[in-house]
Amino acid sequence: MEKQMTESTMVAIAKSLAELADFQNQKFSIVLHGGEPLLIGAKKLDFLLSLLRDSLNEEYPISIQTNGILITSEILDICSKNRTSVAVSIDGYKEINDRFRIGHNNKGTFDQVVKGIDILKSHSDHEFLNAGLLAVIDPSSDAEKIYSFFKELEAPSVDFLYKDGNHTILPLGKATVNSTEYGEWMTKLLNVYLNDKNPLPIRILDDMLKVLLGGTVSKEGMGITDYGIAIIDTNGVIMKNDTLKSSFDGADKFKKPINIKDGKLLDFIASKEFNEYRQMQRPSSEKCLDCPILDICGGGMILHRWKDGAQFNNPSVYCSDQQLLVENMSQLISKFYQVNA
Ligand code: SF4
């Protein structure tokens, strides 16, 4: 497997995505992620982004999800020129971020990441470029302190992710399937958020509130709209969402994968196997199908449903957490309407 994508693979991707855009009415977005996508270097990044932007107009968002360490003014100029936004992964204040985000020198990456964020914030095109932060929740952290820290960073928005894990290998920080450490943490965050008169937008909470109030969102692991993610690996092979790897070895692979260089992307996405993969997004467990908050929770992310034996036919391992969060969210909204009626 190539560590980095070759130019011929990049050309094939741009060509195939242009064909896809011509073929389907539905817009799609492209995210460069890793590993660390900025390891590709400025020259290759410019080559790739120029190809993609020449093939797809700005109605197709292109973004980079980076650990922030390799952000430079030169990289940002390239992103600006090619209308590509940059989101940075950071889990919170130093003690929390450096618990799991460790660099090659075996030291926490916090100082380098914050330096990268500062460069991003000070770029002349920062309003377009700065796509916000992505944090993986550590339920042992102080939710209020995490929120205040992200506000101090002046991020335009932040999104939070539940940790990888499933019914067989519980997520770190979750004592049992029925315990609610993450739901309690999210509820604390929700309270701080709703009590802030000048809040920092939190995408996961905004999306849940939107659905709770009757709207829809199209996002992995939320709501019941169909949503699909295809990964193109560095060697050009099309893969399933790489988060599935945490379920079992090979869970992210198609049985009959194609390489983007074969020029058959349209045939592949019309194939039975790809369709079955997309359908996995829809929850199948009886508990989810009967659940009063299915339209908000959507049965969670696919990887969180895995259990050895029953496979993906389960509610999310975060089911209790989601129920607690939505219950608290509903109560807070009811109180708000009562006060403002
Ligand atoms: S809260 Fe639980 S049962 Fe309800 S949709 Fe989510 S995972 Fe399924």
pLDDT at 341: 63
Question: How many angstroms separate the CA atoms of 20 and 23, rounded?
Answer: 5
Q: How many CB atoms lie within 10 A of CB 267?
A: 11
| Res 136: pLDDT | 97
Residue type, 99: R
Which atom of ligand 1 lies nearest, measured to the CA of 285? 8
Query: What is the pTM for the complete model shown?
Result: 0.92
For residue 1, the model assigns a pLDDT of 64
- Report the nearest atom of ligand 1 relative to the CA of 315: 7
* C-alpha 295 to ligand 1 mean position (Å): 9
- CA atoms of 9 and 313, how far apart (whole Å): 36
- At residue 161, the pLDDT reads 95
Tell me what pLDDT residue 216 has: 78
**Domain spans, the chain:** 7-136
Neighbours of 77 (CB within 10 A): 16
Assess whether the C-beta atom of 325 lies below 6 angstroms from ligand 1: no
| Mean pLDDT split into 10-residue runs, the chain, 341 residues | 86 97 92 91 97 97 97 98 98 93 88 97 98 97 97 96 96 97 98 94 93 78 74 94 89 92 92 91 92 92 93 96 96 77 63
What pLDDT does residue 218 have? 65
Backbone angles phi, psi at 219, to 5 degrees: -155, 145
Using a 6 Å cutoff on CB, does residue 322 contact ligand 1? Answer: yes
Distance of CA 192 from the midpoint of ligand 1 (Å): 25
Which tokens belong to 12? 């094939």
For residue 329 and ligand 1, the question of a CB distance below 6 A is answered with: no
What is residue 257's predicted lDDT score, i.e. its pLDDT?
85
Taking CA atoms only, the protein residue closest to ligand 1 atom 8 is: 288
pLDDT recorded at residue 179: 98
In whole angstroms, give the CA distance from residue 94 to residue 90.
9
Q: Is the preceding omega at residue 250 within 30 degrees of 0, hence cis?
A: no
Residue 239 sits at φ, ψ, to 5 deg, of: -125, 165
In order, the DSSP letters of 69-84 are: TT--HHHHHHHHHTTE
C-beta 284 within 6 A of ligand 1:
no
From residue 34, give the alpha-carbon distance in Å to each of 4, 18, 67, 89. Answer: 10, 23, 9, 11
Tell me which architecture the domain covering 7-136 has in CATH.
Answer: Alpha-Beta Barrel (3.20)
User: Which protein residue's CA is at the shortest distance from atom 3 of ligand 1?
Assistant: 288
